Every structure is written in structure tokens, then in C-alpha cells.
Amino acid sequence: MTDAYVALEGGRVVEARARSPGTTRGELVFTTAYTGYEESLTDPSYEEQILTFSYPLIGNYGVREERFESDRVHPRGVVARDLTEDVVEWLEAEGVPAVDKLDTRDLVTEIRDSGAMKCGIAAGEDVTEQDALDELEQCKHMSDHTDIGDQVTTPETVVYNEDGSGADVALIDCGAKGSIVDSLVERDATVHLMPHDTTEEDVAELDPDVLFISNGPGDPENFEEANELVDDFVGEKPIAGICLGQQVVANALGGETEKMEFGHRGVNQPVRDLRTDRVVMTTQNHGYTVADPGDTLEVTQINVNDDTPEGLENDDLDILTRQYHPEANPGPNDSKGFFDDVLSMADEESVATTN
């Protein structure tokens, strides 16, 4: 029995089975990851999106809170070929509509051909195609979500590992995954998780060893305060960034970013280092990319599939960014050395200040 509808930009409506009831809307995207569904569903970078899993069975190793990247599910809706009861119960408790029993291969192919698209979902008893179409009509493009940072940021500064003997890191929370904090704390850094609209004065008062811009959802141009922080502290503090953080750093330093056709989302994205010619496999989740790094930043890593920038650096200004997620959970872990490199910049800054 059909009791759910997925309305796609362009007018096509796909029938499905309701698993978690409700109506919702968002940008329809897909991930190629075959593990890590708990991490994906709690990744703040999926805010205002509807997540389609290309792997057919989602939930085959249960749901464990210790794997979560944040305190809630962030996609507005979930689409899969088959969802297990564990995942359905979790999504129901979170109030996130979910559907399955549709051809996700066909849906993923359409996204690849047409690009990420607006989508509306209606699931549950007595819903109609028109309910899904009504949701679609109200859906906005990702760049129009100008307040998206407010939806994913910490409301106030939170300090992790306060007595750490390592660097003080000001982590600007544009939607930070918990594993970024964990990766820094594992190296004995003290992490000050600060709101995305933190002011120059607040950072200056903290006087951190490194300014770190996190990942996050949507258009990097909508994170104006984070852009301003990079501009304020470039040349004064080491600066690092992951995913959206790389895009913010590039924009702040004269580069340009652009919307990708369907983005990079999965755990098998190959990245080549232009200095060593070494290729590593990476986890990624982004719909925007750096189109032009500008004159300040050097592209040091690229995506093997499409040559988009995956690493930007300026050794003289102590700037180091990555488009992918070095903290990746459940993996791969090929690039976790990034955090050592970031903290090495902080150590060098401390020595320079002392001298």
C-alpha cells in the first residue's frame, strides 16, 4: 500500500512506503556511504536537506548514541530502499519523516543527472500527492537559508579539556561535528567551541593559539561573521578550516566559492596531494566548493574525480584547510594527521610569541 509520496523539483512524484510519518521539505541529496548512517544522520552539515542513502539496507548494525556526531538528527527527511525498525524508531522519536520501498538507484541517477534538487515529502495515513507537492512549492534553495548557522551552532561558548596542556583552539561552530572536538582533545588541546557569530573582540579576549573554522551546512557566503573573523586574524593567528571552513577561509581571503551540481557525500572520495602525489581516501559531505582560491592560498590537494580543491595552504601566514573530513567516523582514517599539522602551527606560533 502506498502511503508516502516524494515530490521532486520538475514535477515528478515518486510513490513510497511511510516509515516515520509527517510532511517535510528540503534539498534532496544522496550519500554513497555504506556504513556510518548514524554519523551521517547526526551530521549538522545535512541541515535543511533530505538525505537519500544509495546503499540499500540502512540500520543493519543498530543505533548507538556513542556514534552520534551531534545531539539530534539534522536531515529534514530520510529516503532509503529499506530501513530497519531500529532506525525507524529513532527517526520517529526525533520527529523526522522517513520513507522506503522505492527505487533509490533511480533516484540517485536522477540527482546525478539533474543535480541536487528541491523536494517535498508526505508520509503517513491519508496523505496525498498534493501534500508532497505543497511541501515542494514551499521549499527554498540552500543559498536562501541565510539563517542556517543559527540552527546548528552552539548558543554559547563551551570549553572541552579545560586543563589540557596543549594548544588553545577557538573552534568556530558553524555546525561542527563532535569528532572534530574529539580529535583535538585527543591531542590534549583545549577546545573553545564558540558560536558562529562570535565577534572579533570575543576571540581577541580569548587569545587562542589557533583559529579553527568548522564544517557546516549551506552556502559559505551566509556565514558572514566567520568570514570576518578570518579577515581579522589572518597573519596574526594560525587559521585552520574543515569543509565549509575551507570555503569560508577562501572567501575571506579573496577567493570565490560556487554551488556544485550534486556535491560530494560519502566515505570513498579519492584525494591527491600535489606535493607528494599520494592519494588518500576521504569522507566528504558538501554541496559547495572553492571555485577560485585567489592569490593568497595555494591549492595543495585535489579531488581525483573532478579536480576540485581539497586542500588550501599558505605556509607564511600559517593557513591550513581541508575540504574533506579528516576526523571521519567511521572512517577512513587516512588523513587524521591533519590535526597534528594544525596543532604544530599553534606550537610554532607559541614559540614565535615567546621569542
Q: Among 140, 161, 196, where does a domain finish? A: 140
pLDDT value at position 349?
A: 59
Q: Does 355 have pLDDT greater than 50? A: no
Residues 148-175, mean pLDDT to the nearest whole number: 97
CATH code, domain with 312: 3.40.50.880
Last residue of a domain, one of 119, 140, 161: 140
Residue-averaged pLDDT of the chain: 96
Stated as kind and residue range, the H or E segment containing 330 is: none
Q: Do 219 and 272 fall into the same domain?
A: yes
Rounded average pLDDT over 331-348: 91
Domain boundary among 108, 140, 172: 140
* 162 and 286 fall within a common domain: yes
pTM, two decimal places: 0.96
Q: Note the pLDDT of residue 185.
A: 98
On whether both 98 and 171 belong to a single domain, the answer is no
User: Same domain for 10 and 125?
Assistant: yes
55-75: per-residue pLDDT in tens?
Answer: 999 999 999 999 999 999 999
Q: Are residues 129 and 154 in the same domain?
A: no
Claim to verify: residue 64 and residue 201 sit in the same structural domain:
no
**Same domain, yes or no, for 77 and 34?**
yes
From residue 167, alpha-carbon distances to 42, 70, 181, 190, 346 in Å are: 28, 24, 13, 6, 6
Could you tell me if 36 and 54 are in contact, meaning their C-beta atoms sit under 8 angstroms apart? no
Residue with cell 512524484: 13
Q: Which three cell numbers stand for residue 13?
A: 512524484
Mean per-residue pLDDT, 225-234: 98
Clarify whether residues 298 and 240 are in a common domain.
yes
For residue 247, which of 214, 275, 280 has the smallest C-alpha distance?
214
Structural domain of 96: 4-140
Does 329 have pLDDT greater than 90?
no
Same domain, 181 and 326: yes
Read off the CATH number of the domain in which 9 is found: 3.50.30.20
**Dist CA 218 CA 281 (whole Å):** 24
Residues 206 and 333 in one domain: yes
If you average pLDDT over residues 203-221, what whole number do you get?
98
104, 235: one domain: no
Per-residue pLDDT at 350 = 52
pLDDT at 354 over 60: no
What residues are annotated to the active site?
243, 325, 327
pLDDT at 347 over 80: no
What tens digit of pLDDT does each residue of 244-256 get?
999 999 999 999 9
pLDDT reading at 352 higher than 60: no
Q: What pLDDT does residue 1 have? A: 60
- The answer to whether 94 and 65 are in contact (CB under 8 A) is no
Q: How confident is the model at residue 351 (pLDDT cuts 50, 70, 90)?
A: very low
The number of folded domains in the chain is 2
Same domain, 224 and 324: yes
Whether 44 shows a pLDDT value over 70: the answer reads yes
Please state the residue numbers annotated as binding site for L-glutamine.
45, 216, 218, 244, 247, 285, 287-288
Angle, alpha carbons 319-268-324 (nearest 5°): 15
Instruction: Give 125-151 pLDDT, tens digit per residue.
Output: 999 999 999 999 999 999 999 999 999
Nearest one of 203, 137, 143 to 173, comparing CA atoms:
203
